[in-house]
Chain A
């Protein structure tokens, strides 16, 4: 079986979405032993501008490292939604930060939304972990890796002082989406 699964994380530069992509790729390739490639595309700005990070996960070696038709897409800002929430395959999924994406992209895919950044700030306690909330949410939405694999990869990536914060961020994002799916 050679199943290729493509995930795109998009938002503004500085939101940590490239890191979210790297953690997902680590969960797939290091924790679960699948094949994974993470790539990115960003503008010249250090902060701001639309940025995207793509992760391809497969049971066999991956040739083309960029997305062809996206199975699942995350958009954290309106600019990212306008620019990157395209090429989602029929029956694919799109997750939006509902506070920032007011003009929803239309297409033959299912859209889910919740205020991702606000959840990080108000429920988890720090806005800076919005990317980990988003990562938990995307894993819940796609089941592309197991919940525990994602958590293990998150915890392997963050400094010790922030383990609890990130663990909470990951679980909160994961649970929010599983509730939406009920």
Chain B
């Protein structure tokens, strides 16, 4: 049977991906350019017995998502930079209390209200370090309508598997553009649910990492009764100030994401014509589409250009970038901000290749002409 197809907006595909992943709760507060996600879910969730709630603000929205997830539902919120700024305290709470949830950030400019209807990519470091304290971050950056669907599904999977908040970041251009999408059949994409406890309710400890560095999470309100807090805690969930317990917990929560086998599972990149490349453009989101156009034009002129597109922004794909830095003369970093992922590329390249930069913050996309000129200059 032919697959169901539609011309769909990116934000609509995000909502459809969430439903495919089994999302049953959305708590949000409307903000351009993300609002269509809430609009679609406000219609679709109640049809499936799920819940949609528009909260009093973004802080309340994030709190509702944490509560719904603790109660056992896959939960989502969606916003843009100004709203995600407000959510930061509770994102930190979800990190330390290890509560799976997905946060969509459809990026516009900033700081503050910025330019609401214009595209931006200036929240990528906020995704990493927006909430205080040492913590691991998983963030993905889809670049097409089809990929928004599949990466939203993957974001839910990663949240459930690693028991933590996962952010999906895409710019307004990708969020608002419409492309043909083929809807995956049920079962075609993997859908992961959180591990349920095998211990009895009496023996259950919500942060007991003796069997796995991602302890099973019971549903609040079930027979399992446990304590959740934003304080550093012991295996039973109650606060502790014991130095060795606090240290072990903090380190475990980072290593569960950053250990090599977890990185290999979480990292996802697309490479285009990088095998023999002398210059590689590093770009993500809509900027990577501009870069691909530029690479094709440069190849027509015999210039060995390639594209490296991180789909997972965090953890940063440091091993592959380090390899590429040894191979090429330059990694041209292009993003709609004034040099955020550039810091990571520079950190990893360690001067083994040049790292010229193109940034734009005027609400216009980085166009292929700019990239072509920059690559030629780099050679």
Contacts and interface: CB of A to CB of B under 8 A. Distances in A.
Interface of A: 22, 25-26, 29-30, 35-44, 62-66, 68
Contacts of B296: 63
Nearest to B174: A65
14 contacts: A29-B179, A30-B180, A36-B7, A36-B179, A36-B180, A39-B173, A42-B117, A63-B296, A64-B289, A64-B290, A64-B292, A64-B293, A65-B173, A68-B293
Interface residues of B, number: 21
Contacts of A25: 7, 178
Contact of B7 (A38, A41, A63, A65): A38
B117 A44 contact: yes
Given A42-B117, A63-B293, A63-B296, A68 B177 contact: no
B176 interface: yes
Contacts of A36: 7, 179-180
B375 to A, nearest CB: 15
B365 A66 contact: yes
Contacts of A65: 173, 177, 179, 286, 289
A68 to B, nearest CB: 7
Interface of B: 5-7, 116-117, 173, 176-180, 286, 289-290, 292-293, 296, 365, 367-369
A22 B293 CA distance: 23
A40 B289 contact: no
A149 to B, nearest CB: 13
Contacts of B369: 68
A40 B176 contact: yes
Nearest to B289: A63
Most-contacted residue by chain B among A36, A41, A62, A63 (CB, 10 A) = A63
A44 B289 CA distance: 26
A64 B117 contact: no
B179 A37 contact: yes
B7 A29 contact: yes
Contacts of A44: 116-117
Given A63-B296, A66-B367, 13 more contacts: A29-B179, A30-B5, A30-B6, A30-B180, A38-B178, A40-B177, A41-B117, A43-B117, A63-B289, A64-B367, A68-B293, A68-B367, A68-B369
A36 B178 CA distance: 8
A38 to B, nearest CB: 4
Most-contacted residue by chain B among A41, A62, A64 (CB, 10 A) = A64
Contacts of B176: 39-40
Q: Which 7 pairs, one residue from A and one from B, show the smallest C-beta to C-beta distance?
A: A63-B292, A64-B293, A39-B177, A38-B178, A29-B180, A63-B293, A63-B289
A25 B116 CA distance: 25
Nearest to A41: B117
A26 B7 CA distance: 6
A68 B180 contact: no
A117 to B, nearest CB: 25
Given A25-B7, A66-B367, A38 B289 contact: no
Contacts of A35: 180
Contact of A64 (B7, B116, B179, B368): B368
A43 B369 CA distance: 25
B3 to A, nearest CB: 13
A62 B293 CA distance: 9
A66 B176 CA distance: 12
Contacts of A39: 173, 176-178
Contacts of B286: 65
A45 B290 CA distance: 28
Nearest to A64: B293
Most-contacted residue by chain A among B5, B6, B180, B289 (CB, 10 A) = B180
B173 A22 contact: no
Contact of A38 (B116, B177, B367): B177
Contacts of A30: 5-7, 180
Contacts of B180: 29-30, 35-36
Most-contacted residue by chain A among B117, B286, B367 (CB, 10 A) = B117
Contacts of B6: 30
B178 A37 contact: yes
Nearest to A43: B117
